[in-house]
Amino acid sequence: MKLDVSRLDELAPTLRAGDKVELSGIIYTGRDAAHKRFMQLIKEGKELPFPVKGSAIYYAGPTGTKEGMVIGSCGPTTSGRMDPYAPALLDLGMKAMIGKGERNADVVEAIKRNNAVYFCAIGGAGALACKCIEKCEVIAFEDLGCESVKRLYIKDFPLIVTIDCHGGNLFESGRAAYDRRKAV
């Protein structure tokens, strides 16, 4: 299913764990160091470097850009490292997170509470992912290098809905299905 980031607020409640999507639009990158700075800005009552409401954040730290390319390899990083920060961002209106790996119970509850969604990207396929990125701009924390916050313009970025706002969770349902097959 083709999905535009600008419609996440309206469409997130229609998505179910296991849905395959091709996401297009503007997303932002941010990893651990950037998230720590986000929390400091929130604590100080300052604005974040991107419009949080309705946004999608990609947990990635792209490698250096090679000549003739928009961006270097841009694969997902382990999402669990952002778990301490994700509920606050979701409560501010963020609608989607993109990464890899499981999320803790607080993040799952924040996803449900805010009608948001967690997408997984294919780990180890950063060179393939960068082909879906049409434009990249550093917008904050340039001193963090590859972990700076970037605005990415993506087209048909392949993702899987992994945790939906109804409580569907592929990590749980997939594990349960495996255990049932193994028991037979």
Nearest to 71 by CA among 158, 150, 5: 150
d(Cα 159, Cα 155) in Å, to the nearest integer?
Answer: 12
3-state secondary structure of 6: helix
**pLDDT tens digit string along 85-144?**
999 999 999 999 999 999 999 999 999 999 999 999 987 667 778 888 999 999 999 999
* Cβ-based neighbours of 27, under 8 Å, separated by 6 or more: 5, 55, 56, 57, 58, 96, 98, 151, 152, 154, 157
Angle in degrees, CA 76, 80, 41, rounded to 5: 90
What is the pTM for the complete model shown? Answer: 0.92
Question: CA of 65: how far to CAs of 69, 127, 146, in Å?
Answer: 6, 11, 10
**pLDDT tens digit string along 16-68?**
999 999 999 999 999 999 999 999 999 999 999 999 999 999 999 877 777 87
Looking at residue 49, the DSSP 8-state letter turns out to be: S
Nearest to 62 by CA among 1, 121, 3: 121
Q: Domain spans of the chain?
A: 2-183
- Under CATH, what is the fold of the domain 2-183? fumarase (3.20.130)
